Amino acid sequence: MRWLRRIIVALIVIIVIVLAIGWRLLAGSRPQANGTVAVQGISAPVTIARDGDGIPTITARNRRDLAWALGFVHGQERFFQMDLQRRVAAGELAALVGPKALPVDENHRQHRFRALAQRELALMTPRQRKFMDAYTAGVNAGLAHLSVRPWEYLLLGEKPKPWTDADTLLTIDAMSFDLNQDGDDRRDLNIARLRAVLPRPLVDFLLAPSPRWEAPMQGGSTSAVPLPDASVFDLRKAPVQQVALAQGAHAVALTDAADTGIGSNGFAVGGKLTGGAALLANDPHLSLRVPNIWYRAQLRYPDPADPSKMIDLNGVTLPGAPAMVIGSNGHIAWGFTNSEGDWMDWVRVIENPANPSQYKTPDGWTTLVKHDETIHVKGAPAVHMVVKDTIWGPIMAKAPDGTPLALAWTAQDPRAVNLNLMKLETATTVDQALALAPTIGIPPQNLVVADNAGNIGWSIAGSVIPIRAGIDASVPSDWSKPGTGWVGYATPAQDPRIVDPADARIWTANQRIVSGDALALIGDGGYDLGARAQQIRDDLAAHDHFIPRDMLDIQLDNRALFLARWQKLLLSVLAASHNTRLASLKPFVANWQARAATDSVGYRIVRMFRERVRENALAPFSARATAKWKDFTWPDPQAGEYAVWTMVTQKPAWLLDPQYGNWDALLTDSAEQVADELAKLPGPLADKTWGRYNTARIDNPLSVALPGFIARFFDMPHVGLPGDNNMPRVLHPAFGASMRMDVQPGNEAHAILEMPSGQSDNPLSPWFGKGFKAWVQGKPTPLLPGPAKYKLTLQPAH
């Protein structure tokens, strides 16, 4: 027993020592917040004053020194996040974290963005290079001044590699993957697959937009696509062996929109609805993790046009870049949402029968360029791959008939990335900001701007907008004929704009915004259904005066208007059924609260019912594609709403899965599937709320490698979240509003900015997790930093 006690005591001592060492290392990797640091690379002193939430106010004598200081702060607080971003873009992640990242690297390496970044650098203006050089130097200085390298590297047993100018461009490229289908255009490929196994009129019907839910700002709704009759396609004459939906491929093929990364909102009202400056609201929705993708900051430096005045920027920065990405300068406020335009096309590569290494171009036969790429993998042998390049882009897939496909993507053009976003910092009017839009080198986005004179405007921000000719951009096409494919890029004069609409309201929510020539230019890369945009539009129309809190209320609107008709349909199904399993659902469905509330069981049931009906209705069509291509997924997760609702209301027998006797049987079976799924979960039905399903998983990417009792200290609390698809408050466990901003330029003192996690990912930081609770609750938090609690001065070294 004495030896046992000694062993136990020794183990306790060892554990305490290990915890103490871990605590000390964590503490050492926190940024320096107070004091004076002598540094090389700045021309004058710079102050970094942080408030209690860690939000810095960086004040410099010039923009170059400010870029250096912002780099210093990013390098101290967010270097690991920046490292992941550059590695994701370049296809170099496995070298840091191991084989699990290899599929990502193999996909992304095909684009060779590391090599592209060098070409992009060559196109940068001297002014942009000056800012990039300063920022890079600041990042590396900030990293070097940490007492201990960031804790993530300690866990991985790695040392961080210095930042470079090319890495800043890779950071922007990483956003292209996030915003453009991970750079592989599965949507168009899967449309082609559907067309290969189903008649074109049927595919057009199945993928048609829903006029009921569209909410464009220009032009009307699209015409309804007619229901194909039995002469086009008849399932009764061509039955398909079904795959079990609950366990099989259809559940994968018909992926829910929660997995698509769509949900951003950007809207504005003009001065006549505020009594002064215009008012902007923006809540870009992205993957949520610790730390948050954005880093809050106030940036101050003398106005180059009048040094007696200060440029005062408030908003969010992107660690890895020296710009204020979204924010306000007192004259204008600006924000972004994903445009969902068509920025990628598949090109059919016509091989030379006499020489497989050649392919056909408008100028004749050309030889494929082959690049030998090596992907280093931590703890495993390196992987070698060959990237075959064409004049349009890399060969990445095959058409349904086996023809090689090259991907043309705007992000592959070296002109697609630059630092012109920084020019918004000194713009003073909506017109000036919109004039900059076609020069800004970012993934093409909806840009919404409000100014202090009461004006509002919208345009597409992006420096590479292709002009197409002679092709159907929704499927792979042959570009080998002269005058086909991308025949040039749009000029600034062609950039679509909306300025000061008559009703003084602008709304964007990833929906189709324009029609006609403007729509032909932007294309359709998978627009949102429109129900969310429609709800925002109607919320704006319901009021004639706005303050920032009113805009936040719209961002937090979780009313389930879109599902209302599905709730009524489910009630009718339950009323007609004598199934005792379904009877228990009735009171919850009847009292569903008509919103995605965390305590609502009924909302969860209605949502599940729609999903099962959609899966069951589309299954016989999806099955034809999955039988040939195991990786097939429905081209647009939200596409099909129009077709499914049309079928369940008009009940065409020729489009019904033959396993059902009639459409009522399909609806009843869908409800029974919901009841069965819920019955398999532990606990009473009353406990199976939406919040129990929609629970936050805003975690550090490395916490999965830690024991659960330790990991929870590195993650945000796992709490139920209100909101869902097809309403302004889109929220899922690891996807949602990456920030919410509501601001009148010139009235920043009353502006709002919320974020889902704090400034730091170090759990020992005093500002770790600050803001999360307010973000969950929708409690307004100020845009401007609070009183300074910490002050660091950067002093030029002599």
Mean pLDDT taken over the chain: 94
CA atoms 51, 791, 162, 60: torsion sign: positive
What's the pLDDT tens digit per position in 292-308?
Answer: 999 999 999 999 999 99
**383 Cβ contact list (under 8 Å, min separation 6):** 94, 102, 105, 106, 374, 375, 377
201 upstream amide cis, omega within 30 of 0: no
- The count of other CB atoms within 10 Å of the CB of residue 797 is 10
Count helices and strands (H / E) in the chain.
Answer: 24, 29
> What do you get for the CA distance between the two ends of the chain, in Å?
66
**753 Cβ contact list (under 8 Å, min separation 6):** 296, 314, 315, 316, 739, 740, 741, 742, 743, 781, 782, 783
Quote the pLDDT of residue 15.
52
Quote the pLDDT of residue 709.
79
What's the pLDDT tens digit per position in 666-694?
Answer: 999 999 999 999 999 999 999 999 999 99
What's the pLDDT tens digit per position in 723-746?
Answer: 999 999 999 999 999 999 999 999
What's the pLDDT tens digit per position in 75-118?
Answer: 999 999 999 999 999 999 999 999 999 999 999 999 999 999 99
Tell me the pLDDT band of 260, cut-offs 50, 70 and 90.
low
Q: What is the DSSP letter of 708?
A: H
HEC sequence for 169-187 = HHHHHHHHHHHCHHHCCHH
Quote the pLDDT of residue 5.
64
What's the pLDDT tens digit per position in 485-541?
Answer: 999 999 999 999 999 999 999 999 999 999 999 999 999 999 999 999 999 999 999
pLDDT more than 90, % of the chain: 91
pLDDT more than 70, % of the chain: 94
Quote the pLDDT of residue 20.
56
Quote the pLDDT of residue 1.
63
